[in-house]
Amino acid sequence: MASLSFQIIHVLVFCACILIPTSSQSHPHQPEKHAALFIFGDSIFDAGNNIYINTTTDYQRNFWPYGETFFDYPTGRASDGRLIPDFIAEYAKLPFLPPYLQPGNNQFTYGSNFASGGAGALDQTNQGLVVNLNTQLTYFKDVEKLLRQKLGDEAAKKMLFEAVYLINIGSNDYLSPFLWNSTVLQSYSHEQYVHMVIGNLTVVIKEIYKKGGRKFGLLDVGPLGCVPIMKEIKLQQGGMGCIEESTELAKLHNIALSKVLQELESKLKGFKYSISNFYTFLEERMNNPSKYGFKEGKIACCGSGPFRGLSSCGGKSSIKEYELCSNVSEYVFFDSVHPTDRAYQQIAELIWSGTRNITGPYNLKALFV
């Protein structure tokens, strides 16, 4: 027995000596194999594209105290620190993806971030002030051409095939009618309106698929009617509480989104997706902040008015005076609409590795394999 186990150990050691050095030394300086990340959407994902377009400061946020927690300087991200795609990039061992429109940004081998604060799936949503979803798709197609020139058709195709496409859109289509102009919303039934939003999103997913994309990560939209800005609007209208109509639209959207993704999965060969219950993640933290380590779930850290729901954070809009909380880690919302770095981190972890009942049928970790 003794000599047998000695022989086995000897064989194992022998094999290890041959295999380990050759596999690790053949490409000593090559980076780890990685799938790229392409990001589409609105302010939940925008890492600063809006700095480079002609828009209002309301959609740019490249001023203090935005960025105060993590970056120490404002980056154009609508939060005190990182956004969901930043955490996802970190978990996937990718660098932070810079905004596509950032001058000099022409290295797309890790992917790109096309998202634009205020953007919707409908062209009319904040028209002229944002890069709408359709234009983001156009930018992606430009990148695809560039990659084919740089890497060759085969390598570009392989890269697009392995990449993950993270999309978050819809919130502004359901918020802006209550903030600015409800003409478009009022011309349709709720079902028709949601159908248009989902229709435009579906077109974009199919176009990415045609270019070789197979792995899609989506978030449903949050409890929109109860975010601080909407409660402020409700107050201004002489009411109290949430704008239920906006939340109703969000719920219809979320039902329609999961249905359309199931249809795409059954129709498109090789199509894989992940949908996360952003709605529930945010609502739970708003209603039970202490359960998640926060002190305040409903009032924003930065802004003015009873919920700090007036978008005055930073004092660059028409309202110059605003309040800023002393400890942002205690808050779910940083400003009138956007969660904090800490809330985003918790949510990003659920998107990355959440169990099937909250993030499915795949989580993002599984899509990156």
Ligand X SMILES: *[C@@H]1O[C@H](CO)[C@@H](O)[C@H](O)[C@H]1NC(C)=O
Could you give the residue numbers annotated as active site? 43, 335, 338
Give the one residue of 102, 134, 258, 317 binding ligand X; rule: CB under 6 A.
134
CB of 199 to ligand X, least distance (A): 6
| Amino acid identity for residue 205 in this structure | I
181 near ligand X, judged by CB under 6 A: yes
* Residues touching ligand X, count (CB under 6 A): 19
Nearest Cα residue to 167 out of 124, 188, 143, 197: 197
CB of 326 to ligand X, least distance (A): 8
- C-beta atoms surrounding 14 within 10 Å: 10
- Residues 308-327 binding ligand X (CB under 6 A) are 327
151 near ligand X, judged by CB under 6 A: no
123 near ligand X, judged by CB under 6 A: yes
CB of 121 to ligand X, least distance (A): 6
Q: Are 296 and 289 in contact (CB under 8 A)?
A: yes
> Which residues are CB-contacts of 194 (< 8 A; sequence separation ≥ 6)?
249, 252, 253, 256
- Residues 224-253 binding ligand X (CB under 6 A) are none
User: Which CB sits closer to ligand X, 55 or 162?
Assistant: 55
Classify residue 57 by its DSSP letter: G
Pairing mode, if any, of strands 37-41 and 164-168? parallel
For residues 135 and 123, what is the distance between their CA atoms, to the nearest angstrom? 9
54 near ligand X, judged by CB under 6 A: yes
| Pattern 267-296, ligand X, x by CB under 6 A | --------------------------x-x-
Q: Burial-class residue 179 by CB neighbours within 10 Å (0-12, 13-18, 19+).
A: middle
Sequence-separated contacts (24+) of 95-100 with Cβ below 8 Å = 96/47, 97/37, 97/39, 97/47, 98/47, 98/48, 99/46, 99/47, 99/48, 99/49, 99/51, 99/52, 100/49, 100/139, 100/143
CB of 229 to ligand X, least distance (A): 19
User: Which CB sits closer to ligand X, 3 or 355?
Assistant: 355
Place of tokens 């993270």: 166
Give the one residue of 358, 360, 365, 366 binding ligand X; rule: CB under 6 A.
358
264 near ligand X, judged by CB under 6 A: no
CB of 267 to ligand X, least distance (A): 18
Residues within the interface to ligand X (CB under 6 A)? 54, 122-124, 134, 181, 183-184, 196, 200, 203, 293, 295, 327, 329-330, 355, 357-358
